[in-house]
Chain A
Amino acid sequence: MEQSIKYTPFFLLCGVLIVSLIVGLLSRRHDRGGYGVQVRSIGHASIGAAIASNWMSAASFLGIAGVFFLNGYFAFAYILGWTGGYVLLLVLMGSQIRRFGKYTAPDFVEARYDSSVARVFSAVIAIVISLIYCVAQYKGIGMVFAWMFGIDYTQALVFGVLITFAYLMVAGGLKAARNPQMHYLVIIIAFVVPLMLIAKKLGYNWLVPQFSYGRALRDLPEQVSNAYLFPWTFGSPYEWIALCFTLMVGTAGLPHVLSRFYTVPNNRDARWGVVWGLFFIGLLYWSAPAFGAFAHTWLTNSGTILTPAEAQALADIIVIKTAEWVGLHEIFVSVLAIGGVLAAISTITGLLVTGAGAISYDIYYRLINPKATESHLLIVAKGATLALALLVLVIAVNPPGLIAQITAVAFALAGNTLFPVFLLGIWWDRANKYGAIAGMTVGTIITFAPILLGNLIPTLRTILPPTSSALVGAPVVILTMIIVSRLTPPPPEHLRRFLVEKVHSP
């Protein structure tokens, strides 16, 4: 690792953060109404860009290319899971949850299941999901900063936490609004333009590197090429399907994805926004594998051979490394690095704010101190943000896997707990609070058992891989909820009437 600070990316990063603050301040004047609900009518494409910008994190920007670099075809399980999940969300729950009219996962759970215990349980789950998700983002930031400043990972991580915190405080203090459309545009340009230049440098069609990387893969020595093109070199069909399914149900159960359905004025706009959102997300996912493929082209051309450990260590910044290896101008390498950091920072701020909200409102206010004043809650929320960030830091010092893998665990938890609770809450009137609580308990156990007990009972990890436990988990949880609900009294009549008259009527 080089021991020198790279000044270009550093100054560019500072510049971009300052510009985004200024844009935030300018767009604040046009933004009315709290909770990010835009009052004026906006186009479907613009809603889609907001969905995509909310979605794109370090896992999409840095993680996917890394998995493809290591595992070839297996990475498509991530790509398809993270796009196909939106179909599930739109088709099964989008309109109904909107008609239900509750904006956060804990709010929905309390209103539907009429239980504050279930509410607190779902709030804790939402917080844990945010935590795991943040760990993955911080790993991305730590690795990029380590590369940028030539320091070791832990130092870079601490530095990254400080930077995100400074940004969060300044942005919060100035009450700067986020401009999701601009954010999306910056990220996608920062991703695709350097990729085109890489393709050009290596002599492949640079206009659509999304297609030409296939050619690049075929040009590799046969043994390498076959390994990456053959579907089952790096994972069995069961592992592939389980992972893909887990990410899909996880997407449909993620609290911060669901709440996107409310930031637009009406149901129809929200639905059409998803079509555009998928297209915008697709632009990134069509491109990401190309970085992994071109990295192999360079390695082959230059005769460099990486040991598996070296490849593993580089995978999460392979996007940046590829640009550096093929000799792209410093500016473009920096643009990639900053795109990754921006994607991570915006995701972290969103998740920490959601997590802190759940702690201060759903847990502190509802459970511990119902007489707390507004300003008191604000202090609790700030303290909670700090506590969450420190906790994330402690876990991220020894990241348990690749960025995409860590993120997948958060999806497994969402798919094993919140997804069944939402699904049955909407589609079965008989689901009650006992069922929901039992279901969430079983789901939590299924998610964490292979992680905690995997070393003791190795078969547990074969059946329930930590990243992919929802293929077995979600059906088991749904079954648990059905059985427990059947054995206990039905939910109150007013709730069921609400489902019939409001949620399932045009």
Chain B
Amino acid sequence: MSQTNEQEDPKREDLRINFFRPRPGFMRKEVTIIWVTLAAWATMTFGMPIHLAFVHTDPTRTLAEAPYIFGIPAYFWFSGQFLILWFIFLCFIFNVLIDWLSSSYRRRR
């Protein structure tokens, strides 16, 4: 295929952009931050329903045995209220990290 020649040709400049093989330097660090944030986003959002799907199959037992917080089952509070806070927190941390990364690269120039 055409792109294999491209990769092997040393005279050609490397213009490859690939999320899974980030370019060294700024992009590699940026992608690392993105991976960490995405992992924290995905495990919390989809981890809970997956956990609930396996553990909670019977309504009466679930509601009798599940831990409670603020007067409601903890999983209910987690999905209805905590996760939005978590999303805000993730965006905050992401911004702090990206701010730090871009300012460190600007200073180097």
A interface residues (Cβ-Cβ under 8 A, vs B): 73, 76, 79-80, 83-84, 86-88, 90-92, 95, 210-211, 214-215, 217-218, 225-227, 229-233, 237, 240-241, 244-245, 248, 268, 271-272, 274-275, 278-279, 282, 285-286, 289, 427-430, 486, 489-490, 493, 496-497, 499-500, 503-506
Contacts and interface: CB of A to CB of B under 8 A. Distances in A.
Nearest to A282: B84
A202 to B, nearest CB: 15
A286 B81 contact: yes
Contacts of A282: 84-85, 87-88
24 contacts: A83-B87, A91-B34, A91-B41, A211-B81, A214-B77, A215-B71, A217-B72, A218-B71, A226-B59, A230-B62, A231-B52, A237-B49, A237-B50, A241-B50, A244-B45, A285-B84, A286-B84, A429-B18, A430-B16, A490-B6, A499-B15, A505-B27, A506-B101, A506-B102
A237 B51 CA distance: 10
Contacts of A505: 26-27
Contacts, number: 159
Given A229-B72, A230-B62, A504-B17, A90 B2 contact: no
Contact of B17 (A88, A271, A427): A427
B45 A496 contact: no
B99 A268 contact: yes
B93 to A, nearest CB: 10
A278 B94 contact: no
Contact of B56 (A76, A231, A497): A231
Nearest to B16: A429
A229 B91 contact: no
A244 B49 CA distance: 10
A278 B49 contact: no
Nearest to B57: A232
B43 interface: no
A429 B13 CA distance: 14
Interface in B19-34: 19, 23, 26-27, 30, 34
Contacts of B17: 427-429, 496, 499-500, 503-504
Interface of A is mostly: helix
Given A430-B3, A499-B17, A506-B105, A84 B72 contact: no
B94 A90 contact: yes
Nearest to A81: B45
B10 interface: no
Contacts of A227: 59
A500 B16 CA distance: 8
A231 B91 contact: no
Closest 5 pairs (CB-CB, A-B): A214-B72, A237-B53, A429-B17, A427-B19, A506-B105
Interface in B60-103: 60, 62-63, 70-73, 75-77, 79-81, 83-85, 87-88, 90-92, 94-95, 98-99, 101-102
Contacts of B26: 504-506
A368 B60 CA distance: 63
A504 B15 contact: no
Contacts of A278: 84, 87-88, 91
B100 to A, nearest CB: 11
A500 B15 contact: yes
B15 A493 contact: yes
B91 A86 contact: yes
Nearest to B33: A91
B34 A230 contact: no
A391 B46 CA distance: 38
A226 B99 CA distance: 46
A83 B71 CA distance: 24
Contact of A211 (B13, B57, B70, B91): B70
Contact of A76 (B6, B79, B90, B94): B79
Given A225-B63, A496-B15, 11 more contacts: A79-B80, A80-B45, A84-B83, A86-B91, A215-B72, A226-B63, A230-B63, A241-B50, A268-B99, A486-B3, A504-B23
Contacts of B75: 231
B106 interface: yes
A91 B94 contact: yes
A218 B69 CA distance: 12
A275 B96 CA distance: 11
Contacts of B30: 504
Contacts of B13: 497
Q: Which of B70, B71, B77 lies at the interface centre, i.e. has the most chain A CB atoms within 10 A of its CB?
A: B71
Nearest to B45: A84
A429 B15 contact: yes
Q: Which of A91, A282, A489 lies at the interface centre, i.e. has the most chain B CB atoms within 10 A of its CB?
A: A91
Q: Which of A92, A226, A278, A286 lies at the interface centre, i.e. has the most chain B CB atoms within 10 A of its CB?
A: A278
A150 B23 CA distance: 63
A71 to B, nearest CB: 13
B3 A210 contact: no
Contacts of A231: 49, 52, 56, 62, 75-76
B84 to A, nearest CB: 4
Contacts of B94: 87, 90-91, 271
B61 to A, nearest CB: 10
A218 B68 CA distance: 11
B62 A490 contact: no
A225 B71 CA distance: 13
A408 B37 CA distance: 25
Nearest to A75: B80
Given A73-B79, A91-B94, A229 B63 contact: yes
